[in-house]
Structure 1
Amino acid sequence: MIKAVDNKKTIAELTPLGDSAVVVTFGSEMSISTHKQIMALMNMLEDTPFEGFVESVPAFTNLTIFYDPLIVYQTYQGKDSSLISPFKIVSALVEKKLASLTHHKNQPSHTVEIPVCYGGEYGPDLQDVAKINGLTSDEVISIHSSGEYLVYMVGFAPGFPFLGGMSEKIKAPRRSSPRASIPKGSVGIAGMQTGVYPISTPGGWQLIGQTPKPLFLPEQNPPSLLEAGNIVKFIPITQHEFLKFTKER
């Protein structure tokens, strides 16, 4: 493990992941400030990649940077004989970027509106979430659809967004018995997080609604409607609007 330090303060910790990736960790707690650091470093790598850079993948508290070890070694090793491994070479390159992280401006957040039909067959757990929080179903819908949600990361299933910023008023634990199959487009709640299932998959989140809008787009590049850093707004729609949207596709 390597610690990146600025003014005697640890900015991040760098650890190897196999022989072709380095994980840059910015602490142990999910927060907007940590997310901004992750996105700033990711944008810097996209704007000015080092030789051998492949891609970077953001998560809640870290950024995993993938690289081609052969290209890295052949390009940089001769410039500094003390850098004897691709991991140390990449770590040194990343440390230089971390030193100027505070001067980098993040890209403006892109807002994506997602229509949701709440309750009924589309949200079988809506009443349970309401009961847990001492609310009516309409109040849960109002609170959930009035928020703006930050996409912290995409994972678990192709295109699945982990969203932060949900009101504590509608938090709910995972189901005690996960479902074997959840319809694609299902909008769920687990703890203080909300998210959307892009494909049919097993899962234990409380389902409060469903969107007809596809989130996983395998024929496109990138194949995910949402990316880390996006802002999501949920727009309530009726069952009629849901079915109309589905037929039009």
Structure 2
Amino acid sequence: MPWEIVPQGDRCLVLVFGDQVNIEIGLKCATAAAALRAARIDGISDIVPTFNSVALHYQPRPSGADTGFRHLAGEIDKVLEQAFARNAAPITPRQINIPVCYGDAYGPDLAHVAQHCHLSQDEVIRLHSETPAHVFMLGFAPGAPYIGMHDPRLAIGRRSTPRTDVPAGSVAIANLQTMIYPNMSPGGWHIIGATPLVLFDPFESPAALLAPGDTVRFIPISAEEFLAARHERA
């Protein structure tokens, strides 16, 4: 099977699909998570897809009940065999447009990224926005997406010194990925722009704008368009 099921403590198991970060493996994780949510296997309380694995949290029951690791692993295998069968319909990812105002006060690291990558600032914007990217997972903070993989010409690591306060909506890159900060927080990625969209609102359902498996297209906008969108939202 193209996956491995391993125990993680006494109330979690992990589906492992590989040891790399790429869109093919990310799509397998998203497909598995969607199929398992639809299956509603008794005992599983939470399903968390990541870059190359899916964590399944479950509630253990007294000895002999059908919610132990072996029983759950068998039920999971049945669901995934059907989800990954040759005649199974592939999942259709949501297409989400994320407007981004690049550079200047909204993207204070854009010039540094361009210099590091031996590109102009316009080329960085073009490479970041021209190709749709994949949402691998949410992490770090509620609703914070890890999005990739970007053009290799945008290769840059994290900042040597993280910022203590990154504004909400900041669009930042590192390791060929994008992080969008949903609220004010520390952060060590290079900020190249900002979006007026709200990434996480606990009063909405769902609370997070993005979900693993989504496809994102970054749309360059002007500072005037950014401010107008923020004003309209307020």
**Partner secondary structure for residue 66 of structure 1:** strand
Aligned to 2:18: 27
Aligned position for 2:174: 190
Alignment of 1:148 onto 2:137? no
Cα distance in 2 for residues equivalent to 1:94 and 1:154: 23
Give the match for residue 113 of structure 1: 97
Assess if the C-alpha contact under 8 Å between 2:22 and 2:149 holds in 1: no
Partner of 1:224: 208
How far has the Cα of 1:61 moved from its partner? 0.7
Partner of 2:77: 95
Residue in structure 1 matching 2:28, options 37, 48, 62? 37
Q: Name the counterpart of 2:195.
A: 211
The separation in 1 between residues aligned to 2:63 and 2:202, in whole angstroms, is 31
Q: CA deviation digits over 1:201-246, x for unaligned, max 9?
A: 1111011001111111111122110000101111111111111111
- Give unpaired runs (5+ residues) of structure 1: 1-5, 78-85
* 1:44-193 pair list within 5 angstroms: 44-70=35-61, 74=65, 76=66, 86-103=68-85, 104-193=88-177
- Name the stretch that deviates more: 63-72 or 222-231: 63-72
SS at match of 1:243: helix
Structure 1: distance between partners of 2:81 and 2:91: 19
Amino acid at match of 1:120: D
Ranked by relative contact order (alpha carbons within 8 Å, sequence separation 6 or more), the top structure is: 2
Q: CA deviation at 1:173?
A: 1.6
Q: How many residues align?
A: 231
Residues 72 and 90 in structure 1, CA contact (< 8 A), matched pair in contact too: no
Letter of the structure 1 residue corresponding to residue 185 of structure 2 = T
Paired residue type of 2:45: V
What is the letter of the counterpart of residue 28 of structure 1? Answer: D
Residue 19 of structure 1 deviates from its aligned partner by 2.1
The CA deviation at 1:100 is: 3.1
How many angstroms does 1:50 deviate by?
Answer: 1.7
Shift of 1:73: 5.4
Is the 8 Å Cα contact of residues 169 and 183 (structure 2) preserved in structure 1?
A: yes
Q: Is the 8 A contact 1:171 1:189 kept in 2?
A: no
**Amino acid aligned to 2:209:** L
Q: Which has the larger radius of gyration?
A: 1
CA distance in 1, matches of 2:63, 2:35: 18
Greater Cα offset, 197-206 or 168-177: 168-177
The corresponding residue for 1:16 is 7
Structure 1 residue matching 2:150: 3-state secondary structure: coil
Greater mean alpha carbon deviation, residues 166-175 or residues 113-122: 166-175
Aligned-residue CA RMSD in angstroms? Answer: 1.8
When structure 1 is superposed on structure 2, of 129-138 and 29-38 the one drifting more is 29-38
SS in 2 for 1:54: strand
Percent identity between matched residues is: 38
Pick closer, same or farther for the CA change 1:35–1:71 going to 2, 3 Å: farther
Which whole-Å deviations, capped at 9, do the CAs of 1:165-200 have from their partners, x for residues lacking one? 311122222111110110010011112111211111
What is the TM-score when the length of structure 1 is the normalising length?
0.87
Amino acid of the residue matched to residue 244 of structure 1? A
